[in-house]
Amino acid sequence: MKRTITKDDPYKVCFVCLGNICRSPTAEGIFQHLVNERKLSSYFIVDSAGTSAYHIGEPANSKSQWTANRHGIKLYSKARRFEASDLDEFDLILAMDQENLKNMQRLSKNGRHLDKVKLMRDFDSQPENGEVPDPYYGGMDGFQNVFDVLKRSCENLLDELEELIEK
């Protein structure tokens, strides 16, 4: 994670969950919103993906979109599957839970990418069990909780990364 970030060499972040329709697109949307608010968009490339192929091409879950919209954030991404080539492409890959972390670690054949694959809640000031819960089968409270966790985590992540920007 520690490298100088410049406009010529933007920092690439990918948020990853299982289906890429709830947690990871919400994290992508929040992080991109924060980057835009701080006028840092030329320093970052932000994406999200899922470790499964269940929802490829679908927009974010309607409950995720509704929750994000309530906070003035739009979720524009379409679900895609996380590929082994993403390990080379991104500087930081953030898994929403242990299972997705393990799935991505398995894709790193020789282990050389393990330092860039982390848990999202590593950046949360209230990490609890270290996982972002999957709200898919729950009610709106679960989606709001996930939004709150991801907002805290994204703010802390961007605070850390902003210190590496060469302006």
Catalytic residue among 14, 17, 22, 154: 17
Catalytic residue among 14, 23, 97, 154: 23
**Tokens found for residue 41:** 């968009």
C-alpha to C-alpha distance for 153 and 149, rounded to whole angstroms: 6
In this structure, which topology does domain 11-162 adopt according to CATH?
Rossmann fold (3.40.50)
For the chain, domain boundaries: 11-162
Distances (CA, A) of 165 to 91, 111, 147: 14, 27, 26
Q: Is 17 a catalytic residue?
A: yes
List the beta bridge partners of residue 16: 49, 95
Q: Is 134 a catalytic residue?
A: yes
HSE-up of residue 23 (Cα within 13 Å, Cβ side): 30
Q: Is 23 a catalytic residue?
A: yes
pLDDT at 1 (0 to 100):
60
Helices (H) then strands (E): counts for the chain: 5, 4
**Tens digits of pLDDT across the chain (167 residues):** 679 999 999 999 999 999 999 999 999 999 999 999 999 999 999 999 999 988 999 999 999 999 999 999 999 999 999 999 999 999 999 999 999 999 999 988 788 888 999 999 999 999 999 999 999 888 999 999 999 999 999 999 999 999 999 98
Catalytic residue among 14, 86, 134, 154: 134
C-alpha to C-alpha distance for 33 and 38, rounded to whole angstroms: 9
pTM: 0.96
